[in-house]
Chain A
Amino acid sequence: MPGRKKHKLGRVFLYLFAWLTSLFILYPYIVMFLGSLKDLQTMYRIPGTLLPEVWHWENYVNIWKDIPLLTYFKNSFIVAVFGTALCIVCAVPGAYALARMNFPGKKTLMSLIVMTQMFSPVVLMVGIYRAMSNFGLANSLVGIVLLVAAFNQAFAVWLLSGTFATISKELEEAARIDGCNKLSAMIRIILPLAAPGIVTAMTFVFIAGWNEYTLALILIGDSSLKTINLGIRAFFGYTGTEWWYVFAASILATLPILGFFRILERHLTGGLTAGGVKG
């Protein structure tokens, strides 16, 4: 905003607000980080301790040996990556049809699709399990991938159809004159232009897949198929919570996503405002 130099007071407020929010957000992570370096006794000192009495850096080495963390990571990645891919692959043509084609019942269909966003897996738990075992997909990552794709479909379609609607029709028509059919016109002309929306949609579905917990909770039984969230939940045991495990695993689970976000930062929500707003 021009004229900002005049506002010295404004600058101070700006810094203060930024720092206060950041500190508040960081606080649980500091606690988690310090906690992950404590031993169990220090963790439960009363009153609580701020710093570890002995810094157990080896916790980060031991955790890989004590629990199958790598398997958990792998499973979470499979769910997030394939869930995202499937979701987008199904959503793109659907969104394109809704944005560009005219057919009877279009408006109703769009609202129906968007309505499905309101169903949360928690609410449908028992129904989901029943449906999935009818398909023979209980206790498999494939089942979770399909569900992640399905439960994020509404959002992706909504966002992408908004994005497609903002792309000028003429470009596409020009391509068609050049001999492209609808499909290749979409792939060559529309998709690259819709990239901001696609990236945003992908990020969202990816996060939803990575954070997925309730579906895995009811569907996954095999310990070799557990996702990271299930793994972490298991530390809340019968005889007590193994907090340092929880914290170390949590930090390790958060870092890759944070890195991924940093790379994509600019595009995380770009697509939402670029196109989705008209939905």
Chain B
Amino acid sequence: MSRYIVQRLVTAVMMAILASAVIFLIANFVPGDPVLAQLGDIAASDPATVARWRAKWGLDLPLWERYGIFLSGLVQGDLGTSIATRRPVLDDIFQYAPATIELATVAFLLSLVIGIPLGIAAAVWRDGWVDSVARVVSLLGVSAPTFWLAFIMLAIFYGGLGWAPGPGRLDPIAFPPEGPTGLFLLDSVMAGDWETFGDTVAHLVLPSIVLAAATIGLITRTTRAAMLDSLQQDYIRVSRAKGMRERTTILGHALPNALVPVVTLGGLAYANLLAGAVMTETVFSWPGLGRYTFRSAAALDFPAIVGITLVVSVTFLLVNLAVDLSYALLDPRVRR
């Protein structure tokens, strides 16, 4: 088991190093010109300004030298300085990450809490009304464009009915809670500030539902398929022949086996939620990584793009690692 963990860790680190090189290459080999994007047409027409600007950001050095600088910085936790915000990229990421982590985590929990039971019920009462509901929910979930769903939800529940608060993490006039994590839910609880807590929850409802929609669909589908498969196995018949309760048979025997593919998907889904928050955050004016990514991409802010892609990729790798490890916990056949 420990050998398995070590192997997975080493593989993950190697993949991360390779990934950094790939990202760096993409960011440097592509035709888009950051000078034009940053300085604007007028300043960019003056060669001296451009040269000064390029030297300042190290763009005049050869590629491999820049990668060397980038790598050595990386080791020291330095992802470079954002061209757009003129702040260290890592600082930016630390500032925006909590909002995204909070949103993605809530959406993830939401999709698990809805998707898994719905999938189980759909499989157990196959072709019944629960199954039909599950089918419609998952189909709409995976088919609706996130950004559009966000708009519709906002238009109906905020603009039309006024049931939900508007965009943002908090009321515009409210102060964010003091706290170490930047996760408002956690910080407000720790500070005992229940008013802010309530406000945070209210602001989270719409964006988390929107963000979770596709994941709910995927998890419902996967759970249903895995449960149907599992319920047809011989050991289910053996369990019934043993005289076990139907509940034990379904939740005790079928579910643990069905969870194996669901966990794989779940891990992937969580990482995708972190990344897919780009659109949700844009519509809900959510001050998270997604919006930061989008702004950096639009401004061709390469240090920021490289930094974010790297951080998100590493997170992706870590989540995959966690999935692999939980796999080993769920399925003894994987253990060695």
A is bound by B: no
A residues adjacent to B (C-beta < 8 A)? none
